[in-house]
Copies of this chain bind each other. A is one copy, B any other.
Amino acid sequence: MPRQLVECVPNFSEGRDIAKIDAIARSVAAVPEVALLDRESDADHNRSVLTFVGPPDAVAEAALRAVETAAALIDLTRHQGGHPRIGATDVVPFIPIEGVTLADCVSLAERVGHQIWNRLRIPVYFYEAAAKRPERVNLENIRRGQFEALLAEMPALLERRPDVGEAACHPTAGAVVVGARKFLIAYNINLGTADVAIAKRIAKTIRFSSGGFPCVKAMGVPLASRNLAQVSMNLTDFEQTPMHVVFEAVRQEAERYGVEVVGSEIVGLVPKKALEMAAGHFLRIENFKPELVLENRMAEAAGA
């Protein structure tokens, strides 16, 4: 059977107490076959993000243990930070990496959601591809008013009922949002101008919400340290809207304003397939397919 790999990128409402974040990370790393790839904490946001991958069952188990550890260590009634949140573990997305579909990750999210309620008595909302109601596809709708508002509204308002569990926040751990989505590439393109208005206009042209590419979220921001403007993007499905298509579009739009692209940056990680697609495009490789790549052929031979 070919290798099956799922990524999980849970967010926790603790970004200052290293001992607590260590404990959560350890509960993930302790699960056999799970590889913890990255951990990042932000003291201002008072929030941490773990990135781990592994076979579906192992990743589900690691996610559950992380939620359990976070519930034991984090008291949301005492939490303050710059980032909106409703739970000790705030959001748990599952992402298909290899040999699994987005639908498989929806099933995984549902299973973990029910386990979180059954074992820990923390109510669960499903979001993105796992959403049970259209208005819950978007995380921000679920998180509106944050933990403090949810404490009162969950029992009172039908629209705030969780998807799993009783309609009351866990007293210290709040609620958890669990879901499934495709791999997200955080990609920023720097413009040879300090004029943020140009970056904002380009962002508006290319993003889906104002009529641009599907699977592109974008905004124009200043890059103060370098006196440049930046088009800051999330590519939510790079197979639908590839990196190179977005890059070329930003370059062309910038040209209309007499501005050059001076560089770009990837925040976090990028799947190799996105780079292979870009290389194939720019090198105009007519016969490009993943099987041309030595390492892909080796992985195939190893799996066969």
Contact = CB atoms under 8 A, between A and B. Distances in A.
Interface string A244-262: 1001000000000000011
Interface in A275-296: 275-276, 278-280, 282-288, 292-296
Interface in A175-215: 183, 190
A18 interface: no
Interface string A72-107: 000000000000000000000000010000000000
A193 to B, nearest CB: 16
A30 interface: no
Contact of A37 (B38, B183, B271, B297): B297
B279 A292 contact: no
B294 A270 contact: yes
A298 interface: yes
A223 B182 CA distance: 41
Given A269-B293, A294-B270, A263 B276 contact: no
A141 interface: no
A34 to B, nearest CB: 9
Contacts of A294: 7, 37, 97, 183, 269-272
Nearest to A262: B284
Contacts of A183: 294
Given A279-B275, A286-B264, A301 B36 contact: yes
A63 interface: no
A52 to B, nearest CB: 9
Contacts of A264: 283-286
Nearest to A243: B283
A192 B94 CA distance: 46
Residue of A5, A183, A274, A301 ringed by the most chain B CB atoms within 10 A: A301
A278 B284 CA distance: 11
B285 A266 contact: yes
A300 to B, nearest CB: 8
A86 B143 CA distance: 74
Contact of A278 (B38, B53, B190, B279): B279
A159 interface: no
Shortest beta-carbon contacts, A-B, top 6:
A35-B301, A282-B282, A275-B279, A278-B279, A263-B286, A269-B294
Interface of A: 5, 7, 35-38, 53, 97, 183, 190, 243-244, 247, 261-266, 269-272, 274-276, 278-280, 282-288, 292-298, 301-302
12 contacts: A37-B301, A38-B297, A97-B294, A243-B283, A244-B279, A264-B286, A265-B286, A266-B285, A266-B292, A270-B293, A272-B294, A275-B280
